[in-house]
Amino acid sequence: MSAPLRLHWSAISDVGRVRKDNQDSGYAGPWLLAVCDGVGGAARGDIASSTAISQVRKLDDESPAGLDAEHLLSAVAGALHRAHDRIGELVDEDPSLSGTSTTATLLFFDGAQLAVGHVGDSRAYLMREGSISQLTSDHTFVQSLIDEGRITPEEALVHPHRNVILKALDGMHEAEPDLFMLTVQPGDRLLVCSDGATASLGDDRICDILGTGTPDYAAIELTRASLEAGSTDNVTCIVADVLDPAGAEARAEDLADLQPMLVGAASELRRKPARSGRPTALFRGHRSGDTGEMEPIDADLPDLPADVHAIHTDPIDPESARYAPRAPHRFAWLRRLLGLITVVGVAWVGVAAAWTWVQDQYYVGEVDGQVCIFRGVNSSLPGVSLSEPYEATNISTDRLRPLQADGVASGLAADDLDDARGIVENLAKQQVTSDEGTTSTTATTPADVGTCGS
């Protein structure tokens, strides 16, 4: 068995030039790379992202080496589920947080492969032999349009609903994350980032920067380039190199002091439970001068409209409108109860309609050797009969010709009750006398169910 691979990582998060708060959170460690981008504006997306990171980072507590793919993916899914539940608990404790949510993109490393878990529009990339590939697919409205062939990726960049995400961890709706495995090899470089980077940098630009320098250099340059390209969002970038033992030995000095890194809102809130002032922006200047950083926007923003089609009408902050509107978390039990009642009611109406139809059906059959008219259909379900004797006759199947007797035994279909009675009358006319071999007629008589066959 080959020696396990190692990661050499770096992480950085910047509040950006426009926003007052950093709602991104990131974590990088020996076994886990994770980015969460909080959504919710006034509903404190920073709380959602930092809460999610605090839950998923527990994956990094011990080595997952030796686990098979199924257990690795199960661990990632479990971490995302715990983050989802914890956000729900916080919303229950503080209703003002209702509407908060976060994206989550996780790479769980076992020394040879990655278990990837993904919800939302943060992204993971793999750079191998000079080219990059996007590992994750955005859970966004515009991505769904691209997948359907209705718009191009270029059109998506300027689409009015480009900020709307369709999946997130919100503590209320199970997000059903994308889960898959990826085998890595020495020399691979990994990038996990928030949409503050990808919304302003194209794949070619990301590839150019990602292919230069150390992980620390690449992470810083990606963040700087995103802001210079006009990103108005928080930017978080985690870059990690996959090293074999020889590569690890070559970077022994760097790896010796390498510690897990917690960045963004998770780091800010850990140091200061209550926010005071604005998070530090790392890039107020540039190597060649000032970046022209804008002052934070202080104006209060209007509430998010209920109609998804009106989400991005100015002057609403796109960040406040990122998550497709959903019902508030309050009274979730009542909504579930009403939903269950509705489902049961619809099912009951369907069963009642089916039963009414069954009661209008008739056929001619046999009970204890006598011809009988049955009400219902000539069939049954496990443990349930769909018909019952309705009218008895004094016609014995022994006095019918073999072909007719077999038909009665199998059940002769009738259009309605009158048609069934007509079939019985026809059978009566064709009875065979036991002594003379001639036919005789015997009238049918209405009877209770219990008299059928008597």
Among candidate residues 154, 170, 79, the one with its CA nearest the CA of residue 146: 154
3-state secondary structure of 370: strand
The pLDDT value recorded for residue 434 is: 54
Give the pLDDT of residue 212. 94
Residue 196: per-residue pLDDT: 93
**Given this model, what pLDDT does residue 397 score?**
85
Query: CA-CA distance, 161 to 147, in Å (whole number)?
Result: 15
Q: How many CA atoms lie within 13 A of 37 on its CB side?
A: 30
**CATH architecture, domain 6-310:** 4-Layer Sandwich (3.60)
Question: What per-residue confidence (pLDDT) applies to 244?
Answer: 95
Identify the CA nearest to 122 among candidates 218, 193, 180, 52: 193
Burial class from Cβ neighbours inside 10 Å (0-12, 13-18, 19+) for residue 298 reads: exposed
Q: What pLDDT, on a 0 to 100 scale, did the predictor assign at position 289?
A: 31
Q: Where do the CATH 3.60.40.10 domains begin and end in the chain?
A: 6-310
Classify residue 372 as left (phi > 0), alpha (psi -120 to 50) or beta.
beta
pLDDT at 2: 66
By the 10 Å C-beta count (0-12 exposed, 13-18 middle, 19+ buried), 418 is classed as: exposed
List residues bridging with 38 in a β-sheet.
Answer: 102
Tell me what pLDDT residue 107 has. 98
Full-model pTM = 0.64
Decide: 302 and 316 in contact? Cβ < 8 Å.
yes
Q: Given the DSSP bridges, would you call strands 362-367 and 412-414 parallel, antiparallel or unpaired?
A: antiparallel
Could you identify the residue written with the tokens 């090293």? 243
Tens of pLDDT along the chain (454 residues) come to 567 899 999 999 999 988 888 999 999 999 999 999 998 665 688 999 999 999 999 999 999 988 999 999 999 999 999 999 999 999 999 998 888 999 999 999 999 999 999 999 999 999 999 999 999 999 999 898 988 889 888 888 778 787 788 999 999 888 899 999 999 999 999 999 999 999 999 999 999 999 999 999 999 999 999 999 999 899 999 999 999 999 999 999 999 999 999 999 998 766 544 333 445 565 543 333 333 333 333 333 333 333 333 333 334 455 656 766 554 445 556 777 888 888 888 888 888 888 788 888 999 998 888 899 998 888 877 777 788 898 888 888 888 888 888 888 888 888 888 998 998 988 888 887 655 444 444 444 443 444 454 4
Whole-number CA gyration radius for the chain: 35
Report the pLDDT value the prediction gives residue 396, as an integer from 0 to 100: 87
- State the amino acid at position 414 in one-letter form: A
